Amino acid sequence: MLKFVESDTSGLPIKRKQVAKACPRCRRRKKRCVHENPAGNGSRVGLPVSPSREPQDSQIGGSAHIPSAKPLTAAPLESLPTPDESSSPRGHSSRFVGDLNPEAIFMEATSLCSRRDISTPGGIGVWQSNKSHGHKPAGSPTSNLPLQQTAQDILRSYMLQHGLPRCPPPADFSVLRRIYVEKLDPIFPILSDDLISPPQEEAPRIVLQQMVSLAAAADPEATQHLRLSEQGGLLSRQEFCSSLSNSIQMSIDAGVITDRILLTRILAALSLYMQPTCPEDADVPALFNSRAVHQMHTLGLQMATNEGNEKSQMIRSLFCCLWALDRISAAFYGRACLVHERDVGWDLEDCIRRQPPPFRLLLMIISLLDKVISLYRPANRNEKDVLIELPIFEQMIIDAGATRMSNSCLASLEIFYHSVAILSSQSPAEVTSTALPAPATNSRRSLSADRISSIVGEEFLGQLAYMPIIPYGVSLSLSVSYRKMRHSKVPMFRNRGKQAFRANTLLLKSLDDTFWTAKAMVAMAEQVLQEMDKAVASLAQETGLADSSKKADTVSQGEGSTSQTAASADILLDSSTMQGDNNWALLEAAPDLDVFGYFDPTFDLGAVDAALEGNLDFGQSSNWFDWQQHWG
C-alpha cells in the first residue's frame, strides 16, 4: 500500500515523526549523538532547513537544535570555507560532481543544497555542500579505521611538540619575511593573501612562517639569519632548508592544516621552493605539484565564478599560480602537464590581464613556455627545424605594465625568458649531434646563454630573486656551451665553448649549497673539465704538438726567448699545476683531433652527453638525482 507525502511551498516534504538514532559509539557512552541521523539538521540527505520554519526534529524529545547548513548560492565557490569556518571541526566545504557521474543526476533531483555549475551555458555538473563531522585532516581521505586514526593522532601530537617549534626567531623571521615580500612574492604570489590575513590558529600560522622562511633562505642576504631557535646557532642553508622542509611535510601529513585553500597554497609553494636531499626524494617536488592540482580540482578552482563573488579575484589568482607552477614543473622535471585549458572554465588571457604587473609578466613568459612545451610532446616531433617566434622582452615588460618593477625582479624574469628562448627551437630527431645546428637555433641559443651567464655572474651578482628558475637557466646555458665545446670543428670555437662551460660551472657551484639541481650539474661538469685537461695534456705530449709550438714560438720571437718558451711549456704540461687553457691553443695545429675521443675509457662520456645535451630537451632528461648518484 502506497502513501504519498505532501510537500510544502519550499519543496520540502511534510515528514512524519521520526526517531533519532545515535551512532554505536554514542549509544555505548550514553551521550547525545550528532554524528549520525542526517535528519538531525532538519533536512533529508543534507538538505538545508528553510529559515521560515523550525526543524521538525527539534520537537523530538532528547534531540538538540542544530544550526542549519547554509545553502550554496549560484556561484560554484560561494561556499568555499573561510579560514574561520575551515578551522572549525564543523566547517563546511564544497564538492563538485560532474555530469559524467550518475550521482549528479540523483544529487540534483533530491538535494536542495546542490546547485548546477554556471561556468558554462547549461553547466557541466553539480555542486554539493558537505558538512564535515569531527576534526579530519583536509588532505586525507575520510576513514574510520582505528589504526589509521591512531597513527595520525600520534603524528599530530609529535608535530605539535617537536615539528612546529622549528621556526626562526622573530628577529630573524622579520628579515626573511622582508626578503620574501620584496623579491619572491611579487613574482609568484602564492602566499600573498595569507600573509595579509594570517590564519587565526597557531599551528597553520607557524607552518606559513616556516614556508616563507624556506623560500627566502636561498637569498644571499639570508645567510646570517638561518636559525631555528633563539638559543640555536647559525645553520647552513642545507641544514636550515632540510629541517623546515621535513617539518612542513610532516605537518601536512599530520593534518595540521584543515583549511583546503591554505593547504593548496602550502603544497604549491613547497613544490617550488623545497630542495630534496637524497635520491629517494628526487620526485617529491613534482609530487607536491600534483597534490596541489588535486586540491585545485577538488575545490573546483578551475571553474569560473561570477563577478559578484567576493572571492572571485582570490580564486582567479590562485588558479593562475597553480597553472604557472604546473608548466614550470613540466619543464623542470619532464612531467606531463596536469592542468589543461580544455578543462578550465576561466578565460586564461583575461585572468592574466587582471593580475599585478610582476605576476602578469611571469604569466606571459609561462604562456610562451606553454607553446614551447608543445614542441617536446612525444607525438609532435617534426621533420624539419621549428622555431617559435618570441616577442622582445622589453616589449613584454611594457605590455605587462611592469616598468616600475625592481631591477632584481626584472633581471630574474629575464633569465627565465632567455631559458624559454633556448628551448624555443627544435631540430628533427634524426639530425645527428655532430651536424651544425640551424642558423636561427644557433644564434638564439648562444645569445640567450651568454645573456643568462652575464646577468647571474656579473650584472646582478647576489641581487636576484633566487627562485629555482635561476639555476635552471644557468644549467641550460651550461648545456649550450657544452654542445659548442663538444661538437665544434674549429679550435677557436671549442676553446670559447670551454671558457663558457667553465664559467657556468663556477656559477652553478656558487648555488649548489641551495639548489639540488645545481649540485648535480656541478659534480658532472667538474669531472668533464678534469678529463678534458688530462686528454689535452696527453695529446700534446703524444703528438709532439708542444714541440712544434715551441719551435714556432722560437722562430717568431728569436733565440733569446727559447728558454722561456720551453720552461712555460713544461709548466703548462705539468699535470699537477695545469689548467688546460694554453694546451688547447697547442691543438690549433691539428683541428681535426677530437679531444673527447681521448677520454679515459672508464669515463662514461655517453652518460654526460645524454645528461647535458638532453638538458636542452626537457622531455628527455629529468632525473637529476640519477646524475648526482653517478657523478657525486
**3-state secondary structure labels for all residues of 584-603:** HHHHHHCCCCCHHHHCCCCC
Give me the long-range contacts of 358-361 (CB less than 8 A, separation at least 24).
358/186, 358/187, 358/402, 358/405, 358/409, 358/413, 359/186, 359/187, 359/188, 359/189, 359/317, 359/320, 360/400, 360/401, 360/402, 361/396, 361/397, 361/400, 361/402, 361/405, 361/413
What is the Cα–Cα distance from 441 to 385, expressed in whole angstroms?
Answer: 9
What mean pLDDT value characterizes the chain?
76
pLDDT of residue 458: 93
pLDDT digits (tens, 9 = 90+) for 519-544: 888 988 999 998 888 888 787 777 66
Exposed, middle or buried: residue 64 (CB in 10 Å: 0-12, 13-18, 19+)? exposed
pLDDT digits (tens, 9 = 90+) for 222-261: 999 999 988 888 999 999 999 999 999 989 988 889 899 9
Whether the predicted pLDDT of 418 surpasses 60: yes
pLDDT of residue 93: 54
pLDDT of residue 542: 72
The C-alpha angle with vertex 225 and arms to 222 and 229, in degrees rounded to 5, equals: 145
pLDDT of residue 559: 45
Answer yes or no: are the C-beta atoms of 626 and 607 closer than 8 Å.
no
Answer yes or no: are the C-beta atoms of 32 and 40 closer than 8 Å.
no
Number of helices and strands in the chain (H, E): 24, 5
pLDDT digits (tens, 9 = 90+) for 75-109: 344 344 443 333 333 334 567 777 777 777 777 77
Answer yes or no: are the C-beta atoms of 409 and 356 closer than 8 Å.
no
Q: Give the 3-state secondary structure of residue 442.
A: helix
Cβ neighbour number for residue 99 with a 10 Å cutoff:
15
Q: Is the Cα dihedral 166, 168, 170, 173 positive or negative? A: negative
pLDDT digits (tens, 9 = 90+) for 206-227: 999 999 999 999 999 999 999 9
Whether the predicted pLDDT of 26 surpasses 60: yes
Give the DSSP H or E segment for 94: strand 92-98
pLDDT of residue 546: 52
The pTM for the full model equals 0.74
What is the Cα–Cα distance from 47 to 128, expressed in whole angstroms?
Answer: 10
> What is the 3-state composition of the chain as percent helix, strand, coil, each rounded to the nearest 5?
55, 5, 40
Whether the predicted pLDDT of 620 surpasses 80: no
User: What percentage of the chain exceeds 90 in pLDDT?
Assistant: 38
Answer yes or no: are the C-beta atoms of 617 and 376 closer than 8 Å.
yes
